[in-house]
Amino acid sequence: MHQKIKLACYTALTCLIFSCTPSKDVVYFQDASQFETLVDDNTFTPKFKVDDLVSIHVSTLDPEASAPFNLFRGAEEGVAMRPEQVNYLVDKNGEIDFPVIGKVKIEGLSPSETRELLRERLKDYLKDPIINIRIRNFTVTVLGSVNRPGTYAINGEQITIMEALGYAGDINIKGRRDNIMVIRDFDGTKVYNRINLNSKDALKSPVYYLTQNDVVYVEPNKSGKTASSLDQRASIAVSIISVLITSTVVLLTRN
């Protein structure tokens, strides 16, 4: 009986040791002082990339004049449904095929720069056009030690890494906040950046603001890695015990 009590105490103590994480490892922006003013001087502006889906709508005071510059997917015959505007795909050359004016290279341009470029290209056709532009496939993927890993669709033109982690239910107690990896794609080249969210300097990081299709990976801390290792060992041990028990039962049955 005493042996069982000792074993239970030892198990509980082991779990407590492995599950404890120092508070300094889980506090965001811990070096920010009381009432300190942090000025966000990050000049991040989203840029279009290859394979982006872009919504562009052109309007003027004369709807008939601007109609040829807006493409819609018509309703099926006999089915009453509202026509859907067609999105433009940025091809491998960084171009979209725009009605009437043809190919327009927008890769590397921001929505405002693209708006000015189109306004210049349309000046021979339209007077003072209003051009609305939006990225339609803005998603970020959050993986690793977070509560709800997954891919999230973003409304708007920008999102911070803190907001992305909020979508994913925040980093869990076993995740590292001081060495988060952001994987970003530039013309088919993967760029890996790391950011320390324990420090206020994270606000100055080039990946504090995410771009479309960024992947955020939160790696486990020591307790997370230890727990994973213990789980694997426990699983192997259970498998071995199961095999031994089965073999013993078979032998006893035969005898």
Residue 184 has phi, psi (to 5 degrees) of -125, 145
Distance (Å, whole) CA 218 – CA 170: 10
Q: Which residues pair with 144 in a beta bridge?
A: 218
Closest of 70, 74, 81 to residue 122, by C-alpha: 70
- Predicted local distance difference test score (pLDDT) of residue 48: 94
Closest of 192, 190, 173 to residue 182, by C-alpha: 192
At residue 20, the 3 state secondary structure works out as coil
Beta strands 139-144; 215-218: pairing state: parallel
Count CA within 13 A, CB hemisphere, residue 128. Answer: 2
Tell which CATH classification among 3.40.140.10, 3.40.50.620, 3.30.1950.10, 3.40.1160.10 matches the domain 53-135: 3.30.1950.10
- Predicted local distance difference test score (pLDDT) of residue 43: 72
- Predicted local distance difference test score (pLDDT) of residue 13: 45
Kindly state the greatest CA–CA separation across the chain: 98
Task: Please give the helix or strand (H or E) that residue 111 lies within, else none.
Answer: helix 111-121
Distance (Å, whole) CA 89 – CA 68: 18
How do the pLDDT tens digits run along the chain, 255 residues long?
A: 455 444 444 454 444 444 455 556 678 888 777 767 766 666 788 899 999 999 999 999 999 999 999 998 865 555 556 778 899 999 999 999 999 999 999 999 999 999 999 999 999 999 999 999 999 999 999 999 999 999 999 988 889 999 999 999 999 999 999 999 999 987 778 999 999 999 999 998 999 999 999 999 999 988 655 544 444 555 555 556 665 566 555 555 655
Tokens of 70: 């807006």
Beta strands in the chain (DSSP E): 53-59, 72-73, 84-85, 88-89, 95-98, 102-105, 130-135, 139-144, 150-153, 159-160, 180-186, 189-195, 209-210, 215-218
Report field, pTM of the whole predicted structure over 0.85: no
- Predicted local distance difference test score (pLDDT) of residue 132: 95
- Predicted local distance difference test score (pLDDT) of residue 7: 46
Could you state, in order of their start, the residue ranges of all structural domains in the chain? Answer: 53-135
Distance (Å, whole) CA 126 – CA 98: 15
At residue 67, the 3 state secondary structure works out as helix
- Predicted local distance difference test score (pLDDT) of residue 18: 47
Alpha-carbon torsion, ordered 26, 31, 32, 33, to 10 deg: 120
- Predicted local distance difference test score (pLDDT) of residue 34: 75
Q: Token pair 């801390």 is at which residue?
A: 221
